[in-house]
Structure 1
């Protein structure tokens, strides 16, 4: 398989598309705005004027859009993926959406004669640029085997975690862990600064012990510098935590820490900070302590 269509060339989708080009695939991209399409063309890919135009000759179709309604919007209907992709093509959804929606759409894809896997990613913008994303994949073993070579071009850790919808369930767990870790790091930095500690030295030694994590490595400096340029926007993490809390309620389980952090993220988004990186949790944590 050499022809790949990718729908959604945002912060994550564009670098993923570029890495697919680097891996030798013939990549055609579609995006609602033209600038990312032009960037893909400049990198050696092709541009399309619509979803239908992008997918008509594709062996693999990748969607990378923000939320469940967005995915449904690009795959369903007369101009969507299911109606225009050729029989036997594989649909890979790298978006992060509700597990039940992922399962439902996978069933519709199969009915349309397509293979389907839900393959949400973790690693943020830098992970997408460096092609080292962690990818959790739901779907049949056969479809996973077909998708794996493509996913290897954009990620480093690719794991089949179960049937359709399982990838999104694992991604929801990932977002829960990340959010709680970011909040804990924010509280630790506020605590260190309140005591006048050398925060650079403190984070260095903390990173070498049990408190060390990728969150500390990637987000600690952003908090110290008050640099909240988005790698993963608070608005998107707010969406993901909504998925987590709803799914937890449906399963009848308690996630007290996750629920508390979800409310803090919602508060930041509600006041207009949704465009900041999710390390922006530090802002609210600092303000609650009267530090900023």
Structure 2
């Protein structure tokens, strides 16, 4: 299949580069030339609009920041829908609203264009190493067509249901990640305030049921106060807003998720939007007067 790719940020660029390294020809679009230039150097072809990308390809991946961007790139005046032929496949790997995803899929279907929603987990490292977890919503035959490309981008690929299901599962992922961040940060804070070495505390917890990838990687970040992103606070803040919107739409009580949403609000208000989301530690430190 001829592949289009739109998205050249922390996640999108390494994903596109992995497809190029695997020998695929990519046609790309970006609002800023400097963001897509590394892909052009690797052999990608550049186009001036998303519609032009779709006109030259069989499947187009999108990896952008928010729901508004996805809607504009796919359905906007110069969007993919205006260049896509019947049978084209749009694969949105952004993290966006499940409800909006279903609306976009329905609008594309009216033009004979297919869609998969395939948000990811694994961060910049997972994107760079082709080791992402990919949660896919959409029709099974379309998923099977795209699966060989997913296998270049990720290691854990699960078809979770129909349109929007991938985004729902990503919401679930962000709840678990956020609450685990909170648990690790609270454990470090409690150890410190009891005069216990939090480094030793983390070492002890890593050997039991409390052990996790987040305790390992982000626990160390919190101990070092190293909040270089990574996955930025502003993106986690956006994701938790999607979670809470969906909770309201479905009348689902999510008290833990609401707490994380408020912690992200606090970080945004304190000017920490560009930090790694493990900076949630800072929100707790400020509550005790220990932080900046």
Instruction: Specify the TM-score bucket, using the shorter chain as the normaliser.
Output: over 0.9
Contact 1:17/1:29 (8 A) holds in 2 = no
- Residue number in structure 1 paired with 2:86: 87
Q: 1:211, CA displacement in angstroms?
A: 0.6
- Residue number in structure 1 paired with 2:28: 29
Q: 1:145, CA displacement in angstroms?
A: 0.6
- Residue number in structure 1 paired with 2:222: 223
SS in 1 for 2:270: helix
Whether 1:20 and 2:10 are equivalent positions in the alignment is no
Contact 2:65/2:235 (8 A) holds in 1 = yes
- Residue number in structure 2 paired with 1:180: 179
- Residue number in structure 2 paired with 1:51: 50
In 2: Cα distance, 1:239 partner to 1:77 partner: 22
RMSD over equivalenced CA pairs, Å: 1.4
Question: May I ask how many residue pairs the two structures share in their alignment?
Answer: 291
In 1: Cα distance, 2:220 partner to 2:46 partner: 37
Whether 1:124 and 2:123 are equivalent positions in the alignment is yes
- Residue number in structure 2 paired with 1:106: 105
SS in 1 for 2:34: helix
The 10-residue stretch of structure 1 (135-144 or 85-94) with the greater mean CA deviation from structure 2: 85-94
Map 1:127-276 to 2 at 5 A.
Answer: 127-276=126-275
SS in 2 for 1:74: helix
Q: 1:77, CA displacement in angstroms?
A: 3.1
In 2: Cα distance, 1:28 partner to 1:223 partner: 40
In 1: Cα distance, 2:200 partner to 2:270 partner: 33
In 2: Cα distance, 1:213 partner to 1:67 partner: 28
**Moved >4 Å (runs of 4+):** none
Contact 1:57/1:86 (8 A) holds in 2 = no
Q: Which structure 2 residue ranges, 5 or more long, are not aligned?
A: none
In 1: Cα distance, 2:42 partner to 2:236 partner: 29
Q: 1:47, CA displacement in angstroms?
A: 2.6
In 2: Cα distance, 1:227 partner to 1:28 partner: 37
Contact 2:91/2:116 (8 A) holds in 1 = yes
In 1: Cα distance, 2:160 partner to 2:267 partner: 33
Q: 1:87, CA displacement in angstroms?
A: 2.6
SS in 2 for 1:39: helix
The 10-residue stretch of structure 1 (94-103 or 45-54) with the greater mean CA deviation from structure 2: 45-54
Q: 1:191, CA displacement in angstroms?
A: 1.9
Q: Which structure 1 residue ranges, 5 or more long, are not aligned?
A: none
Contact 2:53/2:83 (8 A) holds in 1 = no
Q: 1:217, CA displacement in angstroms?
A: 2.0
Q: 1:262, CA displacement in angstroms?
A: 0.8
- Residue number in structure 2 paired with 1:285: 284
Provide the TM-score with structure 1 as the length reference: 0.95
> What are the Cα deviations for residues 257-276 of structure 1, in whole angstroms up to 9, with x where unaligned?
11112111111112321111
- Residue number in structure 1 paired with 2:39: 40
